[in-house]
A and B are shown apart, each in its own frame.
Chain A
């Protein structure tokens, strides 16, 4: 048994034979050509065929993985039509008396090099696209088959890397899992694995010699085991079987309501971090977004994200959710989540420091920019706003003054906006204690159990030494949740939970009894939570 570790893309098990896929690379020789006109015609013909192939790949990808992924082939097609690229090739053939293969390879290398040397990650990555199209032309010119692997039985596919052209051409019904040496969580292989719902590992030191041998891909642990022994195999088959039964049972829950037997309906929403998570939420039939962590826009950016940038992201999420609620949490960072451009001073105790709403109410320009973006996006869907780390009613009063000025500003400019619900996160013991007063001021509460637990128990979750003292179900926490729900309802606010506890199925029954209106969980837990709720009285 040989075990290797990688990064996992999807939590599932695959068991089967390994298929090692090696790229076929056309060999290019430099040759002197007399009849350059005929050689140019040969190039033009290859280009035409390449265009046909790309059109075919586009159609196939669009059907199998969706429009967004298929777009790459349209880009390839347009690059292939580029005059500079083609003129360079034709010029090499014509003026240099070179064969078409050599001219294509030379031009391809030059243009790929131009992109690779650019000071921009996105453009750097485009050099792979140039290589992909020149490789396509070369294979056509030299008659080398450039198909994906021919798979005659279900296999675990291993490769150094897979290009979009290769993955699209494969017979996907025979792929059990992908394991690659290169790749990123946003690579084509990763996206494909997610859309196919099969496990995939990246950054694995794969070995050609595994070809044809038995292997197990464990997406939970992020491991691949070659030549598994009988005991291990038996164990993993058990997990696989359990997954299969669970998935079957849960599929039936799509389109169903999250309602108890006695008819109490709970809104099961999803927590997301980026725009791309929305697809997964929809696939899992999430009823809304209960927590959209807006900080990713700030953490991923080198400078403060502009209003336009934020607006586009919020609008996209709202539109994709098609009228289902999207609750955006305003900026929630502090000294523990550093962003250079904010220049936050280091703190002894960042959890109790200058963070979240405290930054927003001090550096109000940052806050206003975000609020303008959210309000503008609210014209395009069912958006709600919630504020993190609230400890007093006064803070809410200050926020409301700012909200008014933002709305007036937009009205004066004639920019449309909707009427988003306003809520606060209940994640400090102080907020729980004043929840009766807070409820008068807002439409909803969302209980952030992670911070609430840390502040209530005075336990730092990052410190493993404290695990022994930590009790996620501590009665103090449950009493706080109970109190928040009661006070919220008294003041006419609906109450949700968006922390880790929301997905804790051992507590679901208690939460429902307490009268919770919404539970927001990470997308993979949506259907199991719905199943749990439907089983309750």
Chain B
């Protein structure tokens, strides 16, 4: 299992557009990718639930990745967060 924490820099937080892009990206991997904010955990592929977390700028999320292609997914997602959020 691989994991990382990320503090959201985007002014709007995890808003609709990047959430959609993230969900799409997450679907490309076999691994189970989870996002946790506080006590809530959801799958990265769950777009509406992801938006439902209402992650704002300055808040931290934890991303955990588990599965056969976890190394590649970790690589892709850390990059995705840095570039888009």
The residues in A between 51 and 79 inclusive whose CB is less than 8 angstroms from any CB of B are: 71, 74-75, 78-79
Q: Does A144 contact B (CB under 8 A)?
A: no
Once A82-B47, A308-B9 are accepted as A-B contacts, the answer to whether A129 and B16 lie under 8 Å apart by CB is yes
Q: Does A111 contact B (CB under 8 A)?
A: yes
Question: B13 — which chain A residues lie within 8 A by C-beta?
Answer: 120, 122
Q: Are A115 and B52 in contact (CB under 8 A)?
A: yes
Once A119-B54, A129-B16 are accepted as A-B contacts, the answer to whether A82 and B48 lie under 8 Å apart by CB is yes
Number of residue pairs spanning A and B whose beta carbons lie under 8 angstroms apart? 54
Give 1 or 0 for each of A101-139: 1 = CB within 8 Å of chain B CB: 000000000010011001110110010011000000000
Give 1 or 0 for each of A302-321: 1 = CB within 8 Å of chain B CB: 00001011001000000000
* Stretch of B17-25, B32-40, B67-75 lying at the A interface: B17-25
Q: Are A118 and B17 in contact (CB under 8 A)?
A: no
Q: Does B45 contact A (CB under 8 A)?
A: yes
Question: A74 — which chain B residues lie within 8 A by C-beta?
Answer: 17, 20
Grouping DSSP codes into helix (H, G, I), strand (E, B) and loop, the A interface class, with mixed when no group exceeds half, is: helix
Question: B20 — which chain A residues lie within 8 A by C-beta?
Answer: 74-75, 78-79
Taking the closest CB of chain A, its distance from the CB of B69, in whole angstroms, is: 20
Q: Does A84 contact B (CB under 8 A)?
A: yes
Taking the closest CB of chain B, its distance from the CB of A508, in whole angstroms, is: 39
Q: Are B54 and A79 in contact (CB under 8 A)?
A: no
Q: Are B24 and A309 in contact (CB under 8 A)?
A: no
Q: Are A123 and B46 in contact (CB under 8 A)?
A: no
Q: Are A309 and B57 in contact (CB under 8 A)?
A: yes
Taking the closest CB of chain B, its distance from the CB of A441, in whole angstroms, is: 34
In the complex, what distance in Å separates the CA atom of A122 from the CA atom of B20? 15
Taking the closest CB of chain B, its distance from the CB of A522, in whole angstroms, is: 25
Q: Does A348 contact B (CB under 8 A)?
A: no
The residue from A78, A118, A309 contacting B47, defined by CB atoms under 8 A apart: A78
In the complex, what distance in Å separates the CA atom of A533 from the CA atom of B45? 58
Q: Are B12 and A122 in contact (CB under 8 A)?
A: yes
Q: Does A2 contact B (CB under 8 A)?
A: no
Taking the closest CB of chain A, its distance from the CB of B42, in whole angstroms, is: 9
Give 1 or 0 for each of B45-61: 1 = CB within 8 Å of chain A CB: 11111011010111000
Interface centre among B9, B20, B24, B57 (most CB of A within 10 A): B20
Once A74-B20, A78-B20 are accepted as A-B contacts, the answer to whether A122 and B15 lie under 8 Å apart by CB is yes
The residue from B12, B16, B48 contacting A84, defined by CB atoms under 8 A apart: B48
In the complex, what distance in Å separates the CA atom of A525 from the CA atom of B73? 52
Interface residues, chain B, CB within 8 Å of chain A?
A: 9, 11-13, 15-17, 20, 23-24, 45-49, 51-52, 54, 56-58
In addition to A75-B16, A85-B48, 4 A-B residue pairs with Cβ atoms within 8 Å of each other are A84-B46, A111-B48, A115-B52, A130-B48
Contacts A/B (CB < 8 Å), 11 sampled = A75-B16, A78-B23, A79-B16, A82-B23, A83-B45, A84-B49, A111-B48, A114-B52, A122-B15, A309-B11, A309-B57
Minimum-distance CB pairs A-B, first 5? A78-B20, A82-B47, A75-B16, A82-B48, A120-B54
